Structure 1
Amino acid sequence: MRILLVGAGLSGAVIARALAEAGHRATVIDARAHIAGNCHTERDAETGVLVHVYGPHIFHTDDEGVWAYVNRHARFRPYRNRVKSTAQGAVYSLPINLHTINQFFGRTMRPDEARRFIEAQADTSIADPRTFEEQALRFVGPDLYRAFFKGYTEKQWGCSPADLPASILKRLPVRFNYDDNYFFHRFQGMPEDGYTPVVASILDHPGIDVHLDTPFVSDMAARHDHVFWSGPLDGYFGYDLGRLGYRSLTFERFRATGDWQGCAVMNYGDPDVPFTRITEHKHFAPWETHEGSVLYREYSKACGADDTPYYPIRLVREKALLSQYVARAAGTGNVTFVGRLGTYRYLDMDVTIREALNAADAFLHAVQANARPPVFSADPA
């Protein structure tokens, strides 16, 4: 069969590889001039630093199969994400851990003491937190909430934490030990030469053709037996019901000599600092040595028509519009919507790969059974 994959990021590449290995002909197109989507990496010409062009991506997973998959396409070096935060005139480690708690409150508590102390700070009257703010107040109390979450969240999402669902904060743990590893998954690492060579290796198959600088036009679908769409779900329909809401990012890139901030990621929780964080990219490859440094200041903003969509908002209005687009998608013929944009969900890289593998498998089984392939790689709801 002739399969068209719109988007040369992880979803498109993984599905194309699986279908090509099964004997189908896969054509991958991307409107950008490069592969790998938002995890694209490239060398800075002046410093030689490996730069995460669309912001840092750190691979972490408990999925042993996905970990084995990516390691077949690159050498992954051990990497631990240790985030710092500048707040109220001091630097702390995140996620909130025993060191953060003791430093912030000027104490020397043991784990059991700190647990009781934070419980005393917390608003235990909130039995079932429904908003981001309630979740924070229930589990860390007002002081830590204001220092590390309130201002940062207002900048990141452009609205009050009281208007955001509690599920967003559930991604951030509180630890009563001195573990400052941001993630808790078994497998964590960085590809030695960046993510773009990983995707290039996945796409390296005689059954795959890749065409960059090639936007999708509607008559392309008629020339293929099936389309896998990893672009915005609403974009497939020309946004005719309205645009789904996203937050986007603006990067202020600058160079420095030596080590500018001493860590890869420095958050800024104070509301009077306009950016959310500064990332220093040479620290994402600590096995390399560079005299120069490349850094990004990140500013969050509403996503306009010409901006890159990063984070789906998924509040009440967006969910209502999403349900309309899902209904529209159900009426399409030969299209499967995949990935972060195609299913309007926040996805880590490992989940993206797993869902892509599952989508390819489901397609192959449907073809074998002479049945209609699934419309979505995963339920957008």
Structure 2
Amino acid sequence: MKKVLIVGAGFSGAVIANTLANTGNYLIDVVDERNHIGGNCHTERDPLTNVMVHKYGPHIFHTSNEKVWKYINLFGVFKPFINRVKSIYKGQVYSMPINLHTINQFYGKSFGPSEAKRWIESQGDSTINDPKTFEEQAKKFVGEKLYKAFFYGYTKKQWGTEPQNLPASILKRLPVRFNYDDNYYNDTYQGIPKDGYTAIIQKMLDHPNVKISLGYRFLGEKEDVGEYHHVFYTGPIDAYFSFRYGRLGYRTVYFKEYRADGDYQGNAVINFADEEIPYTRVHEHKHFTPWENHSETIYFEEYSKETESSDIPYYPKRLEIDMNILKLYESEVTNLNKVTFLGRLATYRYLDMHHIIEEALDSAEKFLELDSHK
């Protein structure tokens, strides 16, 4: 059988490993420098409260891709979960994303849908024809007041820069609704695995042809991979090439952990939009599993900062300087004939879980098709 190396035990690596292993034609080594599988989707029980914790921040699975939904449900039971985010601004609690309730509460109105739409259009800056920045995008579509309330401070904290320095594309995925729908996502399928994400990935990797090695730091182009027929790499693209063209920019997050009796905030996620509050949001993890009962709770304040060499990269900044560096690394990738780069870090894109699974399934199918003709 052909030997394959997979670098990274997150969803990308697990989907590839599972698909190839099931053919019976490959022996697969999966390596990860962390001491657990699951990547940033890793979940574990808090030993004091028994709450299932999303170790690297909240993950709600959502997709409208039926193929992806059916696939992920092969590996565990998903319980329905609707993410209803709240935002606190100047001591008031609002519903996110901006919807009819948010608009009426913020302006002290009782608009119907058509009235609210006309009102928001009147608030928008009509002088901005082609928004180039985050700030222009927000002001054009929701106006100065809603922008300052819900986007300015939060965005400045999350990205560490004035929103006028960020591209408009960051905001384009945030909806404004003219009804009372406060479901954060629009996707057909939404849920959270009953036993956590790590159990899902463990089942994907549970195959006699798959060997997992944790705490293994892969050296990128310096690694001797001569014994392997192919390598699937899901780590940072700049790290693979020893940062020869410089480091790509990321924001990272870190968390301050707290425990309490009962219920701390009554919701899974609450954003804090005021600039002077240093954290961006608070997540209380017992609310991600409403089918469970816990007398105590664990919650986390989330802070954002620049990514240093020892930090876990989260959000690719994708500024002009980053995209120029990325092109240099991508040109190097084209020279490699037996390495596939996939996933968020290896392609330097922000990808949700369903995107990662879809791309990994497609990548595995293409690889198998090409390999069958060799």
Instruction: Give TM class, smaller chain.
Output: over 0.9
Q: Show the counterpart of 2:72.
A: 70
Partner amino acid for 1:193? D
Distance 1:306 1:369 in 2: 42
Q: Show the counterpart of 1:280.
A: 284
Q: Show the counterpart of 1:267.
A: 271
| Per-residue Cα deviation, 1:128-172 (whole angstroms, up to 9, x for no partner) | 212111110011000000000001000001111111111111111
Distance 1:219 1:333 in 2: 15
Distance 1:346 1:93 in 2: 25
The alpha carbon displacement at 1:223 in A equals 2.1
Number of residue equivalences: 370
Q: Show the counterpart of 2:226.
A: 222
Q: Show the counterpart of 2:204.
A: 202
The alpha carbon displacement at 1:25 in A equals 1.2
Distance 2:275 2:139 in 1: 18
Distance 1:128 1:45 in 2: 52
Q: Show the counterpart of 2:163.
A: 161
Match of 1:341 among 339, 345, 354: 345
Q: TM-score scaled by structure 1? A: 0.96
Structure 1 unaligned blocks of 5 or more: 371-381
Distance 1:256 1:149 in 2: 30
The alpha carbon displacement at 1:264 in A equals 0.4
Q: Show the counterpart of 2:181.
A: 179
Partner amino acid for 2:14? A
Distance 1:151 1:55 in 2: 20
After TM superposition, list the pairs within 5 Å mapping 1:130-149 onto structure 2.
130-149=132-151
Q: Show the counterpart of 1:119.
A: 121
Q: Show the counterpart of 1:79.
A: 81
| Per-residue Cα deviation, 1:5-27 (whole angstroms, up to 9, x for no partner) | 00000000000111111221111
Partner amino acid for 2:347? T
Partner amino acid for 1:228? F
The alpha carbon displacement at 1:333 in A equals 3.0
Q: Does residue 1:57 correspond to 2:59, yes or no? A: yes
Which contiguous aligned blocks of 4+ residues in structure 1 show a shift greater than 2 angstroms?
217-220
The alpha carbon displacement at 1:202 in A equals 0.6
Q: Show the counterpart of 2:331.
A: 327
Match of 1:361 among 358, 361, 365: 365
Q: Show the counterpart of 1:4.
A: 5
After TM superposition, list the pairs within 5 Å mapping 1:234-249 onto structure 2.
234-249=238-253
Identity value in percent = 54
In structure 2, the residue corresponding to 1:240 is in which secondary structure? coil
In structure 1, the residue corresponding to 2:172 is in which secondary structure? helix
In structure 2, the residue corresponding to 1:112 is in which secondary structure? helix
Q: Does residue 1:233 correspond to 2:233, yes or no? A: no
Distance 1:123 1:88 in 2: 24
Partner amino acid for 1:302? E
Partner amino acid for 2:187? H
Q: Which moved more, 1:43-52 or 1:201-210?
A: 201-210
Q: TM-score scaled by structure 2? A: 0.98
Q: Show the counterpart of 1:13.
A: 14
Distance 2:223 2:269 in 1: 44
Distance 2:246 2:236 in 1: 12
In structure 2, the residue corresponding to 1:171 is in which secondary structure? coil
Q: Show the counterpart of 2:96.
A: 94
Q: Show the counterpart of 2:35.
A: 33
Distance 1:178 1:76 in 2: 26
The alpha carbon displacement at 1:220 in A equals 4.0
| Per-residue Cα deviation, 1:280-334 (whole angstroms, up to 9, x for no partner) | 0000011111011111101100000000000000010000000000011111231
Distance 2:362 2:225 in 1: 22
After TM superposition, list the pairs within 5 Å mapping 1:312-323 onto structure 2.
312-323=316-327
Distance 1:75 1:220 in 2: 39
In structure 2, the residue corresponding to 1:224 is in which secondary structure? coil
Distance 1:240 1:219 in 2: 16
Distance 2:327 2:217 in 1: 26
Q: Which moved more, 1:50-59 or 1:129-138?
A: 129-138
Distance 2:44 2:329 in 1: 35
Partner amino acid for 2:21? A
Distance 1:244 1:305 in 2: 11
In structure 2, the residue corresponding to 1:222 is in which secondary structure? coil
